[in-house]
Amino acid sequence: MLFLNYQADKFLTLTTLLLLFLLNSTVFAQSETDSISTYSQIRSNNNGDGQPDLFGKKVITTGIANSPSGVFHEQYLQMFIQDDSSGISIFSYNIDDPIVPGDSLVVWGAVDSYNGLVEVEADSYRVYQNRSVPRPINLTDLISNPADYLGVLAKGDGVITEKGSTYNGKYVIISPDESPDSIMVYVSNFHVSFSEFNFDILSVGDEIAVQGVITEYNPEFPGQKNYKLFLRTPQDLSYIGLPAYYKNLIFWSIIGLIIIALIWYLILRYRVESKTKEIRFSLQQKELLLKEIHHRVKNSLSIVSGLLEIQSSSAENEETIRMLQNSQTRIQSIALIHDKLYKTESLSDIDLDVYIKDLVESVHRTFTELNDSVSLFFDLDPVQIDSSRVIYCGLLINELVVNSFKHAFNGNSDGKLSVTLKKNKNHTVLTVSDNGPGLPHNFNPNHEHGLGSMLINSFAENLNAEIKISEPEEGGASFSFTFPDL
């Protein structure tokens, strides 16, 4: 059925052209010949001299335009007409009527040859609007023998195998899929849209789709056969996939961004490290200064403690001596804190277990008359406490231990003082107990008005500690304090 339609279209076209020829017989009578010349007759070169046999002769030819006028040349008429299997180039210095693909033409003029391209230099032509654009032939069907399809519209896909330019144009050579042959895809610099054909982004290996006119044109060596596909418009060339140009552009753009990001990262890192060094140096200076302050406070408190010891040794009133010794131990407990802060790497936290042991032993040494008769027992879990709370904790322990030495022991008894520190999940328990005679009858720490009791309650309140006082079965007194997380 397709074959019958094709034959019918061919018959209709030829019949239309023949009728047009008969209707314009008056015009044709002016020519040197009264018959229509075929494209093969116009191109024939029987004597082999490189020029067509009808060179310079007047001819009449007809066909359907497969390219528009005013495209292949900026000033003159250059275009191609074709029948079902072949075509011819038409040239004129004047463009009388505009021509679009699909128009039927009757042309009369002289046979000419330009850079290997046989053409008809038209004296005049007549355009009949038909708008039946010739169907392109696939490149794979004609690439092995393009001489049989000169002037015919063709299309197809191919891989670029070469790219270059001549003095009057630019080109790429493509090889269609599964074909050993290749053909040049060409744009002349006379083309009205020459600058719009962006061959710069094409690279060898790119796959492109093309559509154009098969022609024989060799401006550098007119005597040699050289077949090309003339592109008509920039739309006749399109890319299949992403051209290597864009791939390389994307690749190098990514590399460039990575390099810029790396440089920016190194700059930022250098700035951060420089600033960090400045901050670290400043922090070290402040730590040294703070340690020096703790050391001087500790020394100052030691001097005060020493003055109180001298004062107590010269006092005659027992009550005065007792008050001075109490103040001395309190000052020593605070001085010991500053000594710990001076010696530790962290200026904010203190190992409470170590501090308690040192503090209790220090108080023990203060009561020289009881050194041999009182034994110390420790059961301490590792616990850290911040410096803002350790002072209250130290003063609390100091009061408890001092009270034990004052009221629970005498030189004739075998005294035992136990201090435990237990760390649980959500709280810490501190217990100070002795084996003395126990607490007075109806003892209530909340109702006691002595300085020691008031201080113990005050320190416990600052530490948010719950107080529990008990008397163990073996005798003595036990004070337990439950703190929230230290």
Question: Looking up tokens 């001489």, which residue turns up?
Answer: 147
Average pLDDT over residues 7-26: 43
pLDDT reported for residue 356: 86
pLDDT reported for residue 406: 78
Q: Confidence band (pLDDT; 50, 70, 90) for 61?
A: very high
Distance CA 163, CA 468 (A): 97
- Residue among 144, 8, 181 nearest 84 (CA): 8
pLDDT reported for residue 172: 93
The percent of residues above 90 in pLDDT, for the chain, comes to 32
Query: Domains in the chain, ordered, with CATH?
Result: 39-128 (2.40.50.140), 137-241 (2.40.50.140), 346-484 (3.30.565.10)
pLDDT reported for residue 103: 92
Higher per-residue confidence, 400 vs 223: 400
pLDDT reported for residue 224: 66
| Backbone phi and psi for residue 20, each to the nearest 5 degrees, phi listed first | -60, -40
Q: Which helix (H) or strand (E) holds 21?
A: helix 2-23
pLDDT reported for residue 291: 66
pLDDT reported for residue 255: 94
> pLDDT tens digits, residue range 168-183?
899 999 998 777 889 9
Token pair, residue 398, equals: 């100091």
Average pLDDT over residues 376-393: 85
Token pair, residue 233, equals: 């418009």
Distance CA 36, CA 120 (A): 13
Question: Poorest-confidence range of 19-28, 52-61, 144-153?
Answer: 19-28
Query: HEC states along 364-423?
Result: HHHCHHHCCCEEEEEEECCCEEEHHHHHHHHHHHHHHHHHHHHHCCCCCCCEEEEEEEEE
Higher per-residue confidence, 198 vs 12: 198
pLDDT reported for residue 447: 53
> pLDDT tens digits, residue range 126-162?
998 877 888 999 999 888 889 899 999 999 999 999 9
Strand partners, 154: 137, 212
Q: Confidence band (pLDDT; 50, 70, 90) for 420?
A: very high
pLDDT reported for residue 300: 79
How large is the angle between the packed helices 387-407 and 352-366, nearest 10 degrees? 30
pLDDT reported for residue 162: 92
44: left (phi over 0), alpha (psi -120 to 50) or beta: beta
Q: Confidence band (pLDDT; 50, 70, 90) for 451?
A: low
pLDDT reported for residue 111: 95
Q: Confidence band (pLDDT; 50, 70, 90) for 246?
A: confident
Does residue 266 surpass a pLDDT of 90? yes
Average pLDDT over residues 74-82: 90
**What are the angstrom distances between the C-alpha of 192 and each of 77, 123, 124, 188, 197?**
12, 23, 23, 9, 10
Does residue 288 surpass a pLDDT of 50? yes
Higher per-residue confidence, 139 vs 366: 139
| Backbone phi and psi for residue 372, each to the nearest 5 degrees, phi listed first | -85, -20
Distance CA 229, CA 366 (A): 113
Question: Poorest-confidence range of 68-72, 168-172, 216-220, 235-239?
Answer: 216-220
pLDDT reported for residue 20: 45
Distance CA 347, CA 352 (A): 14
The percent of residues above 70 in pLDDT, for the chain, comes to 84
Mean pLDDT across the chain, nearest whole number? Answer: 81
Average pLDDT over residues 259-280: 91
Question: Looking up tokens 């001299």, which residue turns up?
Answer: 49
- DSSP assignment string, 25-69: HHHHTTSS-SSBPPHHHHH--TT-SSS-TTBT-EEEEEEEESS-T
pLDDT reported for residue 347: 56
pLDDT reported for residue 214: 94
Strand partners, 133: none
> pLDDT tens digits, residue range 432-443?
998 888 777 666
- DSSP assignment string, 98-160: ---TT-EEEEEEEEEEETTEEEEEEEEEEEE----PPPPEEHHHHTT-GGGGTT-EEEEEEEE
Higher per-residue confidence, 329 vs 111: 111
pLDDT reported for residue 102: 92
Counting every residue written for the chain, the total comes to 486
Q: Confidence band (pLDDT; 50, 70, 90) for 232?
A: very high
Distance CA 363, CA 398 (A): 7
Tell me the whole-structure pTM to 2 decimals.
Answer: 0.53
